[in-house]
Amino acid sequence: MNIYLIGMPGAGKTTIGKRLAQILNYTFIDLDHRIEKNALMFIDEIFEKYGEETFRIQEKQALSEIEGDNLVISTGGGIVKDRTNKALMNGIKVYIDTDISIIEDRIGKDFQPRPVLKKKSLHTLYDERMLNYVFFADLIVSNDGDLEVTTQKLRALLKEKFNL
Ligand SMILES: Nc1ncnc2c1ncn2[C@@H]1O[C@H](COP(=O)(O)OP(=O)(O)OP(=O)(O)O)[C@@H](O)[C@H]1O
Ligand SMILES: O=C(O)C1=C[C@@H](O)[C@@H](O)[C@H](O)C1
Ligand SMILES: [Mg+2]
């Protein structure tokens, strides 16, 4: 069974995904890195050179190319903008739900370029996307507190609800 992590930029999908894969002995895949490998370009360069629409096509393509079992896949924050992407996610979809003000605090301390945040605030993106995250989700896990606590909580829910 594969596990897809969805949620706002900076919610913790990559960090939790790596740790969860370690605990379950699954393989970790970061969809943003797959897109960069396919395009031989960083995501902010794709946005700059070709725009968001082209990026979304590449994102859908990378999602549809995921193969294998026992994978933890962290997706980009905007994967839910296109509701038809849900059908391409064959596995348990987990919404990592993190308070916007906590995300703001956390990503103030990291330096990854996030091109969507050049145009819109996290608050606006959250208002636009929140219902779509819920539409995609089989499970919802809050990541407002300690990372290890979140990951263990998720691990326990996967066992309880999906017998993993
Ligand atoms: N529970 C936590 N406690 C403290 N810091 C955290 C926690 N979860 C994530 N972080 C930190 O928040 C930042 C964003 O996390 P991460 O990169 O995993 O988010 P993401 O959802 O993958 O973001 P993006 O959509 O931009 O790829 C990182 O600096 C990470 O170390
Ligand atoms: O929230 C978004 O729309 C994005 C999030 C990142 O993970 C990347 O997928 C890209 O920068 C777009
Ligand atoms: Mg990430």
Report if residue 33 sits inside a domain.
yes
**CATH code for the domain of 95:** 3.40.50.300
Report if residue 11 sits inside a domain.
yes
Nearest CA owner, ligand 1 atom 31:
15
Domain that holds residue 60: 3-153
As to burial, measured by CB atoms within 10 angstroms (0-12 exposed, 13-18 middle, 19+ buried), residue 68 is exposed
pLDDT digits (tens, 9 = 90+) for 121-157: 899 999 999 999 999 999 999 999 999 999 999 999 9
* 38: number of Cβ within 10 Å: 13
Report if residue 25 sits inside a domain.
yes
Which atom of ligand 2 is found nearest the CA of 77? Answer: 1
Q: Measured between alpha carbons, how far is residue 61 from residues 38, 50, 66, 127 in Å?
A: 10, 16, 9, 26
Q: How far, in Å, is the centroid of ligand 1 from the Cα of 40?
A: 24
Report if residue 163 sits inside a domain.
no
Q: How far, in Å, is the centroid of ligand 1 from the Cα of 102?
A: 10
Report if residue 124 sits inside a domain.
yes
Residues with CB under 6 A from ligand 1: 7, 9-15, 32, 74, 76-77, 106-107, 110, 112, 114, 143, 146-147, 150
Which atom of ligand 2 is found nearest the CA of 113? Answer: 11
| Cβ 78 under 6 angstroms from ligand 2 | yes
Nearest CA owner, ligand 2 atom 1:
77
Report if residue 133 sits inside a domain.
yes
pLDDT digits (tens, 9 = 90+) for 30-46: 999 999 999 999 999 99
Query: How many separate domains does the chain show?
Result: 1
pLDDT digits (tens, 9 = 90+) for 68-126: 999 999 999 999 999 999 999 999 999 999 999 999 999 876 667 788 888 888 999 99
Report if residue 23 sits inside a domain.
yes
- Concatenate the DSSP letters of all residues of 61-117 into one string: HHHHT---SSEEEEPPTTGGGSGGGGGG--SEEEEEE--HHHHHHHHTT-----THH
Report if residue 30 sits inside a domain.
yes
